[in-house]
Amino acid sequence: EVWVTSKVGFFPENSDGVWMHDPANCKGGEQSSIETCIAELGLTPDLFLIHNPCTTREEYNASCLPHFFELFGHAGDPLAVSPTHLPDGTPLRSLIMDAKLGEAARAMDAAEGGAAGAALAVRSSRERSWRAMEAALAAGKCKYIGVSNYPADLLLEMAEYATAVSYTHLTLPTKRIV
């Protein structure tokens, strides 16, 4: 027996030009992504997951940064961030991540008229994505639905609007053993 899982909603809306962008897998286009997946696989997957909670290009750019430290660094990829520490020993990862997350927050606040408007906009985007997943479940396009890479606070937020049971895929940090 084989279990098939697919992810949709990887990229935020209006995210042309971001790393790895695929216009066929954007938030707001979940139904189309689901239909494409079913057609390409030639079967109904067991589980569809929303790939991540990012709703803006700035959030997406910040969330991708760990790849440039951990994944690319291990493979010797030229995109890897190097050096990884300042001369005084301060890790660059946390400095860059904090700066990019702050940039994302400021951009959302400016676009939505302040922190309250930004919070409402991102929640609304995540809720629309979840509603599309519930519609796919109700239409029999999968057996289960869920989310991937959602932190605990967003899972609690989701409990306020989700009507279908969800499954959660978590990736826990790992350390490279040399």
Tokens of 58: 């700035």
pLDDT band at residue 172 using 50, 70 and 90 as cut-offs? low
**104-116 per-position pLDDT tens digit:** 778 877 776 776 7
Q: In angstroms, rounded to a whole number, what is the distance separating the alpha carbons of residues 63 and 172?
A: 15
pLDDT tens digits for range 44-69: 999 999 988 888 888 888 888 877 77
Angle in degrees, CA 19, 26, 17, rounded to 5: 30
Cα separations (Å) of 162 from 50, 53, 93, 121, 167? Answer: 13, 14, 34, 17, 12
Q: What is the pLDDT of residue 177?
A: 46
Tell me the whole-structure pTM to 2 decimals: 0.77
pLDDT class for 178, splitting at 50, 70, 90? Answer: very low
Whether the per-residue pLDDT at 5 is higher than 80: the answer is yes
How is residue 164 written in tokens? 């279908």
